[in-house]
Structure 1
Amino acid sequence: MGKAASDQDQEITLQQALRSCDIDEKIIQDMIRRLSGAEILEDKDSEKAHRSLEKFLKKTIRVASGITLYSDKPKIVALIGPTGVGKTTTLAKIAAKFVLEKGVSAALITADTYRISAVEQLKTYSDILGLPIEIVYSPEALQQAIEKHSDKQLILIDTAGRSQYNEFQMKELMGLLKANKDIEKHLVLSSTTKHRDAEEILNRFMPCEPERVIFTKTDETSSLGLIMNLLYKKKIALSYVTNGQSVPDDITPASYQKLVEMLLR
């Protein structure tokens, strides 16, 4: 009987678990309204708690499982975002997943000419994967590179990290992305970013019209509430999460089940 009481004392409810990972209180209150009292007070490790959270997420957050290729033309994807969030490594992970695991034909383009190390890093990955790489300095050069590799199934574009406070850099990025209307933009954010800063980054990058968001460095924080707080009732969808530096292993296409596991880990 003493052991049973001890186990109950250690039980963490779904509601407590979400509060402990810094989920915004308004989201928790919305969840309480949508779920029954029994569901919100379930042990966080129970199957019922996981199902309840997944049901709530499906109603309030958009998830796009990775990148979906076209059957009749190349899929063009650009990674955009602030400095230091891991865009180049993330792009290499995506490329490696498609090339090594799915046999997809791909090409890499880098517009990150501000950092020599970024170009060299991507060149190294292109050599390892046997992929062509183009270095571009203008929207016109970007369009030419895209046309050059129109026979590929996937074209991945790396862009320079931009400060959301630098208007010139943001306008330059917008001009680059207008080179081709078919570019699908994925905003890359670090999971270690403070919520207020992440909200501002998202708002500042919205003129670039990102359709997806990738969260990196999920292994570097014990609280992943930022993901839920930032995407709650937003049109932008979660596409990938990354959890380390290893290429291509440490990246996972987003799913509701994966998000539940991360929030309740």
Structure 2
Amino acid sequence: MNSKINLEEKDTDTIEKIVRFNLAECLGSPGPIIVNEEQKVIFFIGPTGVGKTTTLAKIAANFVLKNKYDIGLITSDTYRIAAVEQLKIYSDILQLPLEIAYNKEEMIKGIDHFQNKDIILVDTAGRNHNDLGQVEELKEILNTVKKKEVFLLVSATTDYKVLESVIDKYNFLDEYKLIITKIDEAENYGNILNIKHIANKELSYFTTGQNVPDDIQIIDVENIVKKLIEENNND
């Protein structure tokens, strides 16, 4: 909220309109994936357990089912066998090719292999944000591509202090957008505002469950503002 706004001698409806406007300004406009003539190489990054693989599958499925784009999948999440198997199942269902990259060189080969695809979606290993070695490894993976889009996934259930710590570890990135996961598990919508405030990056999507491809939405700022005000009024 803008501290310079004078709320004195204003009625309740006017104050609510001012609050709505300021909340919407804070949240900003959503920044979903926009496909144009240039190939999109899109990396999904974030802490372990935040839902990267499932979120990637939801986005891939929506593009395949609704937009008919030519898509390739790459996973570098080779630390967890289950993650590779999970993405393999989704790639089989969606009939999308999948490359597995065990290192930087294989990532380069995988991207080159998909040079004719409209979109390349890259799943990365969950990182312990306190492990500097893992952060450096992620930097190497991301640096394999000059033109890319990066989406940082953060859970809506994460404590504020942990959010600060997680987001701080990704400050080596000049540009990324935010995907907020596990909205359905959060007690309220307040953390959406927290995440936006801490990261100061564009919001793009939020996820509301495990179902592929359904439980993902482009951020609806008007609806989030409505929820925030309802929650505040119920306190």
- Same fold judged by TM-score > 0.5? yes
Distance 1:40 1:245, change over 3 A: farther
Q: For residue 67 of structure 1, what is the aligned residue in structure 2? A: 33
Q: Distance in 2 between matches of 1:92 and 1:37?
A: 50
AA at the equivalent of 1:55:
F
SS in structure 1 of the partner of residue 105 of structure 2? helix
1:227 to 176, 189, 192: 192
Q: TM-score, normalised by structure 1?
A: 0.79
Confirm whether residue 96 of structure 1 aligns to residue 61 of structure 2.
Answer: yes
Q: For residue 169 of structure 2, what is the aligned residue in structure 1? A: 204
1:183-217, Cα deviation, whole Å (9 max, x unpaired): 21111011000011011100111214451011000
Confirm whether residue 148 of structure 1 aligns to residue 116 of structure 2.
Answer: no
Query: Residues 24 and 222 of structure 2 are in contact (CA less than 8 Å); yes or no, is this contact kept in structure 1?
Result: no
Confirm whether residue 246 of structure 1 aligns to residue 215 of structure 2.
Answer: no
Aligned residues: 230
Query: Residues 61 and 234 of structure 1 are in contact (CA less than 8 Å); yes or no, is this contact kept in structure 2?
Result: no
* Structure 1 residue 256 displacement after superposition: 1.9
Q: Distance in 1 between matches of 2:44 and 2:6?
A: 36
Query: Residues 79 and 187 of structure 1 are in contact (CA less than 8 Å); yes or no, is this contact kept in structure 2?
Result: yes
Confirm whether residue 115 of structure 1 aligns to residue 115 of structure 2.
Answer: no
Q: For residue 57 of structure 1, what is the aligned residue in structure 2? A: 23
1:190 to 127, 132, 155: 155
* Structure 1 residue 35 displacement after superposition: 7.1
Moved more, 33-42 or 205-214: 33-42
Q: Distance in 2 between matches of 1:195 and 1:248?
A: 29
Q: TM-score, normalised by structure 2?
A: 0.89
SS in structure 2 of the partner of residue 65 of structure 1? coil
SS in structure 2 of the partner of residue 246 of structure 1? coil
In our comparison, the structure showing a higher alpha carbon Rg is 1
Detail structure 1 runs of 4+ shifted over 4 Å in the superposition. Answer: 35-40, 51-54
Please list every run of 5 or more consecutive structure 2 residues that lacks an aligned counterpart in the other structure: 231-235
